[in-house]
Amino acid sequence: MLSFDGWSAGIAYCLKIILDLIFTLFYIYKARNNNIKQLFYPAICMFSFLLAYIPYIMDFSNILLTNNNIQVTNLLHLWIITCLFVAALAVSILGINLTFKDKRKFFITTTSIYSLFLIISAIILLYFNIPNSGFSISYPNHPGVNLIKPYWAINSIFFYLIIPYFLFLFYLIFSFILKSFKLKGQIRKKFQLLAIFYIDGLIFFFLIVTIQKVGFLFTIFFLLTGFIIWVSAYYSLTPIKEKRQKKKKAPSDKELEFVSYLMKKPASNQAIEGESLVSSKLKKNILVFVSYSSKDRKIFKIQDIAEKLKAYQGIRDVLFYEGESIDNIIKYMNDNLGQCDAFLLFCSQNALSSVPVEKEWTAAEAMGVPIIPIFFDLKHVPPLLQSRLGVDYDFYNLDQTVKEIYSSIVKKCVERD
């Protein structure tokens, strides 16, 4: 019967295989759909680790069925070694692609040949059973109580052979850390996560091949380091996402009423009476044409703005279409646009997608009528008009917004004259 440590290790190995498979498929999916080719390398690494744990799962299953540990042959041991070095080769190629772009082919070829040399060396050491080769199996004192644990001695022949591999991986780690110091923002974090990925990978490697006994603390550390590898690999290799700008929304009527109450002022949809702004620079009374999407009539309080503008000296009239028919809009535009001195364009997402609004402002542009964009989000202003003098619509202070519109109208008309 398995001990507590044996159960914890067996369950941990099963979880690791399942999660490695999930992350492998996830990396491949992201690599293919988002065109992130570098994610294929951690996917290969994860899948190779998954294959390396098969003997451990075989031992766990055999104990549950027969109460005995499996006998690990040299072939099975070679299987574990090969899988681990395929994983190491995958992360090495990833590091080479990110560090040695000019000499990538040379370093990939050299690392691949060296990995093959290590696998052949392992075959020779295992086949001839050379003493102090570095490979041994830690069996439990009582078969079936705990799981077997492959063990590679640090002072063995094989460990001396793989020292150059470790030195190369350490070099990649330091290069990522140095690059992170030279960079700022999100790209710095990417290189820091890459360094964490490689450091944790080395810790994980030493954990599984240099510790003889499997205990509860081993399994916790085993799963924790695996989790760090999964997360750091993904977030270090995915592209930097642009910060999403919050979409500005027009406030509701209730919100406007509440703000008006707090500010102890009349609601902004009430017209001003008796307030006017005189401009002696105007040579004639101005006729204003208003363009807006019918969906925004209430949002922008078009009727109220028109009434308030008419209260100012120098404004002859404010024309805006209140019908629904597209044919009538074209007729209305044809009859009135050419006579206007200023063109107010109320910009919104609705206005951007409105064909009549587009026809109105493009016609005004062609006629040379001064266009004044009025907006609450600059992204709603057509790109061609974003450099024009405009008015930022203040939903909480309609009177001030009308004053700014009037000032812009006067300035545009004076410049035109």
Structural domains of the chain, with CATH: 4-237 (1.20.1070), 253-416 (3.40.50.10140)
Instruction: Tell me whether strands 342-346 and 149-152 are parallel, antiparallel or unpaired.
Output: unpaired
What residues in the chain have per-residue pLDDT under 70? 241-283, 323-330, 416-417
What pTM value is reported for the model? 0.60
Tokens encoding 41 = 């390398």
Which residues are CB-neighbours of 366 under 8 A, at least 6 positions away? Answer: none
CA 148 – CA 151 distance, rounded (Å): 10
CA 46 – CA 344 distance, rounded (Å): 61
List phi, psi (to 5°) of 154. Answer: -70, -30
Tokens encoding 162 = 């793989």
Tokens encoding 380 = 């709603």
| Predicted pLDDT at 274 | 38
List phi, psi (to 5°) of 105. Answer: -60, -40
CA 347 – CA 357 distance, rounded (Å): 9
| Predicted pLDDT at 254 | 66
Asked if 178 and 191 touch (Cβ cutoff 8 Å), the reply is no
| Predicted pLDDT at 324 | 54
Asked if 125 and 133 touch (Cβ cutoff 8 Å), the reply is yes
Which residues are CB-neighbours of 276 under 8 A, at least 6 positions away? Answer: 311, 312, 313
CA 48 – CA 88 distance, rounded (Å): 9
